[in-house]
Amino acid sequence: MIRKTRLFTPGPTPLLPAAQFAMAAADMHHRTPEFRALFQKVLAQLKVFVDTQNDVLLLASSGTGAMEASVSNLTSPGDKVLVLTAGKFGERWVDLVKAYGCVPDVLEAPYGKTFKLEDIKAALKPEHRAVYMQASETSTTVSHDVEGVAKLVKGTDTLLIVDGITGLGTQTFDVDGWGIDVLIGGSQKAVMMPPGLAYLSVSEKAWKAMDSSKNPRYYFDLRKERKNAVKGESAYTPAVSLVAGLGAALDYIAGQAGGDLEKGRIALINNAQVNAKATREGLKALGFTLFAPDSPSAAATAVAVPEGMDSGAVVKALKEKFKLVTANGQGTMQGKIFRVAHLGFFDYLDTVAFLGAAEHIAKDTLGLPVEYGQAVAAAQRVYAEAVKQ
């Protein structure tokens, strides 16, 4: 049988062909009118995609580079910050703020769970320079209540910095209305690109805070990037081909709604949410246990395997039998969960393909008492209900 590789990991995600073509054709120098026009166009598109009037900057790095920039540019050694952590990427915030000499108060939620707003309210202090959190914790596929946290922070001197790397394109943010000071995204997620670009929106409150920040910065100096962006340039050599690909990806998203990028963004979010719900219902129909049932992310779904089973066996079986690539758990969750993505260049038929493969693995490899078609049927019911609305 012919087998086609299908990437179902939560980053990198499947690449958009139009973006690949644009990257291949991006033979231009970055200090030319041609590239300046492209760069300014992409920055303007990103403001629509993020849904903000704030500056949006583009960095040649992974999303972690933008995370680091939001620490180095906004804090000073000795600053107290509040970090909300419920997984590996929340733990990354802890490591980053410590690396820049901040003193973190850490509020933890168990893996697979989210936070209680009353606990955040009790932990938040006037002396906290910033709150660092995830919108979607990719390691556990939990969605956090960014709006609720923003309400607690709004009106204070504390900054709110949100890792939206798998949240953007899968959930809705009112950046300006809620008062998110920094919202971070990455190219290898919902915008259907290879890794290598990070983007972040920066509020006026955050720009003012940079004036008193004493931490060192050079490559990730956001003030330099802001100054150069006005001219259609980056402070240092940009990832030219990736910028061209990102422009094509944003054009594609707009094209899904008749050329309206705002409506295209909404359609992209709805697509992820419908596919996520269909996948969850299909997996439950097979007898699998969802790892984060109470606050699930639309970016990806984590599935717990029965006691005594290694989730790596499921990941391996899907790849060997169908060339379908999913993700194992990270850190202490390795071997306990596997993760399947919904963000970016996935459609309903991709979901059907995954669940069809999952039926074979459940029945033929794991020996679960399932019938072919029951997961797909559960997904079809979700899709049928969604398209009626």
Secondary structure (H, E, C), 197-240: CEEEEECHHHHHHHCCCCCCCCCCCHHHHHHHHCCCCCCCCCCH
**Quick one: pLDDT at residue 38?**
97
**Quick one: pLDDT at residue 190?**
98
Residue given tokens 């259609």 in the structure block: 232
**Quick one: pLDDT at residue 306?**
80
**Quick one: pLDDT at residue 58?**
98
**Quick one: pLDDT at residue 110?**
96
Give the torsion through C-alpha atoms of 352, 356, 357, 358, to 10 deg: 100
Which of 6, 14, 11, 26 shows the shortest CA–CA distance to 192? 14
Show the DSSP H helices in 131-182 as ranges. Answer: 146-153, 175-178
Could you give the CA distance from residue 116 to residue 149 in angstroms, rounded to a whole number? 10
Kindly provide the b/e burial profile for residues 15-51, where b requires at least 16 CB atoms within 10 angstroms of the residue's own CB.
bbebbbebbeebeeebeeeebeebbeebbebbbbbbb
CB count within 10 Å of CB 100 equals 21
Span 227-273, pLDDT tens digits? 999 999 999 999 999 999 999 999 999 999 999 999 999 999 999 99
Does position 147 have pLDDT exceeding 80, yes or no? Answer: yes
Does position 182 have pLDDT exceeding 90, yes or no? Answer: yes
Does position 389 have pLDDT exceeding 80, yes or no? Answer: no
Segment (H or E) for 44: helix 33-50
Which of 21, 32, 9, 61 shows the shortest CA–CA distance to 249? 21
Strands (E), 29-72: 55-59
Q: Which one-letter amino acid corresponds to residue 378?
A: A
Does position 326 have pLDDT exceeding 90, yes or no? Answer: yes
Could you give the CA distance from residue 349 to residue 347 in angstroms, rounded to a whole number? 6
Residue given tokens 């008062």 in the structure block: 179
At residue 302, the 3 state secondary structure works out as strand
Of the two residues 365 and 45, the one the predictor is more confident about is: 45
Phi first, then psi: what are they for 83, rounded to 5°? -115, 125
Contact 137, 90 (CB under 8 A): yes
Could you give the CA distance from residue 31 to residue 168 in angstroms, rounded to a whole number? 30
Write the CA distances from 64 to 111, 165, 187, 378, integer angstroms. 21, 9, 12, 37
Contact 183, 164 (CB under 8 A): yes
Question: Most distant CA pair in the chain: distance in Å?
Answer: 63
CATH code of 17-255, in short, is: 3.40.640.10
Does position 36 have pLDDT exceeding 80, yes or no? Answer: yes
Q: Pairing relation of β-strands 182-186 and 159-163?
A: parallel
CB count within 10 Å of CB 88 equals 18
**Quick one: pLDDT at residue 331?**
87
Would you kindly state where each structural domain of the chain is located, as residue ranges? 6-12+260-388, 17-255
Could you give the CA distance from residue 6 to residue 353 in angstroms, rounded to a whole number? 9
Span 106-131, pLDDT tens digits? 999 999 999 999 999 999 999 999 99
Percent of the chain beyond pLDDT 70? 100
Does position 1 have pLDDT exceeding 90, yes or no? Answer: no
Span 95-108, pLDDT tens digits? 999 999 999 999 99
The sheet that has 55-59: what strands, in order across it? 55-59, 198-202, 182-186, 159-163, 128-134, 80-85, 103-108
Span 290-305, pLDDT tens digits? 999 999 999 999 999 8
Instruction: Measure CA 287 to chain center.
Output: 28
Confidence of residue 77 (pLDDT cuts 50, 70, 90): very high
Indicate if 17-255 has the same CATH topology as 6-12+260-388.
Answer: no
**Quick one: pLDDT at residue 334?**
94
**Quick one: pLDDT at residue 191?**
98
**Quick one: pLDDT at residue 309?**
85
Confidence of residue 307 (pLDDT cuts 50, 70, 90): confident
Does position 93 have pLDDT exceeding 80, yes or no? Answer: yes
Q: Pairing relation of β-strands 128-134 and 55-59?
A: unpaired
**Quick one: pLDDT at residue 210?**
97
* pTM: predicted TM-score of the whole model, two decimal places: 0.97
Q: What is the mean pLDDT of the chain?
A: 96
Segment (H or E) for 253: helix 240-255
Write the CA distances from 325 to 21, 110, 312, 339, 384, integer angstroms. 24, 27, 11, 10, 27
Segment (H or E) for 130: strand 128-134
Phi first, then psi: what are they for 16, rounded to 5°? -75, 125
Q: Topology of 6-12+260-388 in CATH?
A: Aspartate Aminotransferase, domain 1 (3.90.1150)
Does position 82 have pLDDT exceeding 90, yes or no? Answer: yes
